[in-house]
Homo-oligomer: A and B are copies of this chain.
Amino acid sequence: MERRVVKVGLLGLGTVGSGVVKMLRQNSEELAQKCGYEIEIQRILVRDLDKKRGVEVDRALLTRDVRDILDDANIQVVIEVMGGEGETRDIVLESLLSGKHVITANKDLIALHGAHLHHAADSQNVELLYEAAVAGAIPIVRVLKQSFAGDNVREVMGIVNGTTNYILSKMTQENASYEDALREAQALGYAEADPHADVSGLDAARKMAILASISMRQAVPLADVKLQGIEGVTSEDVAEAKALGQVIKLIGRARREGDSIEVSVSPMRLPEEHPLAKVNDSFNAVYVYADALGEAMLYGRGAGEMPTASAVVGDLHAVLRGRKFAAGQLELIARWA
């Protein structure tokens, strides 16, 4: 049986983009078997055609003109791994409105414009998936959307920022000062030169806005997330907690309180026995409490080239196996007939 080909447009060829290209190549036959389609990268949007990449790609695939992707009716799926949220939002929006399914790893985009983009996706009956935007390779978005579909989620608690978790782990395990732990995280590449977005809790807040919106089924704007970072946590605080059998973690929390939803990010003391207390270094974990299911936790790498690429490719598989893609294929066939 001849396999149909699905053409994909890739926006961005940085770390995650290169990882996606690698995974699609390494597992092409297996993926084709599971999805029923051969996946072909048709075009890749880059800023610089000559930049050295983490993966070899045919130069003819590269373009600096986004119209080469947006105007190509053969491209049915767009993978956005370029980041940003101004121009990127416009590109993603136009992709959706022109009937392309979109997969993105961009938490800023979804935290700020998720409701708007979902509306556009629904209007065209296309998918908008973003497993990689929250907690890297931990499949929390899919689990919250699908596995809890018939359940009521009461609370989501998560360690969703690897940088701050690394810093707090160092402070706890080695009695390091905040400054020393931050410097070590920077030396290892876990923290940026300007660590503000991480240590202020902003990055975690974006992810919690997304998780709250999915799990509570109600759009939670980023501005509604109460926010406190870890800059004020001292080694004395850590030692004091330890003496009480507690561990300080930067915890994102989303709770249903009557009709309203409270979302916060702040350093919290957890008893040592709490499953989240044992999530150390740059690992992420998300705890969910639901009426029927009770408690569950997902744990794994929050970032990194291949974990993130793995999440993107998982989403691609989900698009190709979903009913929206099937419906689009039938429409195409009807148009040709």
Interface residues of A (CB under 8 A from B): 19, 23-24, 27, 30-31, 34-35, 131, 137-139, 142-143, 146-152, 217, 275, 278, 290-301, 304, 306-307, 309-311, 313-314, 316-318, 321-323, 325-327, 330
Contacts and interface: CB of A to CB of B under 8 A. Distances in A.
Contacts of A327: 326
A294 B301 contact: yes
Nearest to A152: B27
Contacts of A143: 139, 142-143
A43 to B, nearest CB: 20
A283 to B, nearest CB: 9
Given A23-B292, A143-B143, A275-B278, 7 more contacts: A27-B152, A34-B149, A137-B296, A138-B296, A293-B306, A296-B298, A323-B325
A150 B313 contact: yes
Given A31-B149, A317-B150, A296 B300 contact: yes
Number of copies: 2
A325 B326 CA distance: 10
A33 to B, nearest CB: 9
The CB with the most chain B CB atoms within 10 A, among A152, A294, A317, is that of: A294
Nearest to A298: B298
A294 B300 contact: yes
Contact of A310 (B278, B293, B297, B299): B293
20 contacts: A23-B150, A27-B151, A31-B150, A137-B147, A138-B296, A139-B146, A139-B296, A146-B317, A147-B311, A148-B310, A149-B314, A150-B316, A151-B313, A275-B278, A275-B299, A291-B306, A296-B298, A297-B297, A298-B299, A323-B323
A277 B131 CA distance: 28
Contacts of A321: 146, 322-323
Contacts of A34: 149
3 smallest CB-CB distances across A and B, nearest first, come from A150-B313, A296-B300, A149-B317
